[in-house]
């Protein structure tokens, strides 16, 4: 199975990468709220660019994903009311619930990356 990376998907993946980087940096800097907010905005924008607006809306409003959506949005709320540790924990669980069905696809994609693919195949199989 071959995945084609269009320019839009490359931009989406880049935004997701920057969002994860800023979130990780914020955690290293004792849960800096500004960096956490920036990481969340970049991550959400990247996922929206990668999937598309309609697919993203369907993902968050799907009846089976209400728990993940609620946890993610509560996590955002707790970030903005200055409880970043609880917010990050809730957002992480919400993301795992929302995007749990995508992990097999992500694994196949990562296995096709030339330098990293054989390491992932060695670790997963």
Q: Would residue 2 count as lying in a domain?
A: no
Q: Would residue 72 count as lying in a domain?
A: yes
**82-88 own/partner pairs: CB under 8 Å, 24+ apart:** 82/33, 84/26, 84/31, 84/33, 84/36, 85/31, 87/36, 88/23, 88/27, 88/31, 88/36
For the stretch 80-116, pLDDT in tens is 898 999 999 999 999 889 888 887 887 777 777 777 7
CA gap 104, 118 in Å, rounded:
16
Query: What pLDDT does residue 15 have?
Result: 94
Q: Would residue 108 count as lying in a domain?
A: yes
Q: Tell me which residue of 29, 36, 28 sits closest to 83, measured CA to CA.
A: 36
Q: Would residue 1 count as lying in a domain?
A: no
Query: What pLDDT does residue 2 have?
Result: 58
Q: Would residue 79 count as lying in a domain?
A: yes
Q: Would residue 58 count as lying in a domain?
A: yes
Domain that holds residue 113: 7-124
**How many domains does the structure of the chain reveal?**
1
- At residue 122 the predicted structure's pLDDT band, cuts being 50, 70 and 90, is confident
Instruction: Judge contact between 60 and 98, C-beta under 8 A.
Output: yes
Instruction: Judge contact between 54 and 62, C-beta under 8 A.
Output: no
pTM (predicted TM-score): 0.76
- At residue 57 the predicted structure's pLDDT band, cuts being 50, 70 and 90, is very high
């Amino acid at each position: 199975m071959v995945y084609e990376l269009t320019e839009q998907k490359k931009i989406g993946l880049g935004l997701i990468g920057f969002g994860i980087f800023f979130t990780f940096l914020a955690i290293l800097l004792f849960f800096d709220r500004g960096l956490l907010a920036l990481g969340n905005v970049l991550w959400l924008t990247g996922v929206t660019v990668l999937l598309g607006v309609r697919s993203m809306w369907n993902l968050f409003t799907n009846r089976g994903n209400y728990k993940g959506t609620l946890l993610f949005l509560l996590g955002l709320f707790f970030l903005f009311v200055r409880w970043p540790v609880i917010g990050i924990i809730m957002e992480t669980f919400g993301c795992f619930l929302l995007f749990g069905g995508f992990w097999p696809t992500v694994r196949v994609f990562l296995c096709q990356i030339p330098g990293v693919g054989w390491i992932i195949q060695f670790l997963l199989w």
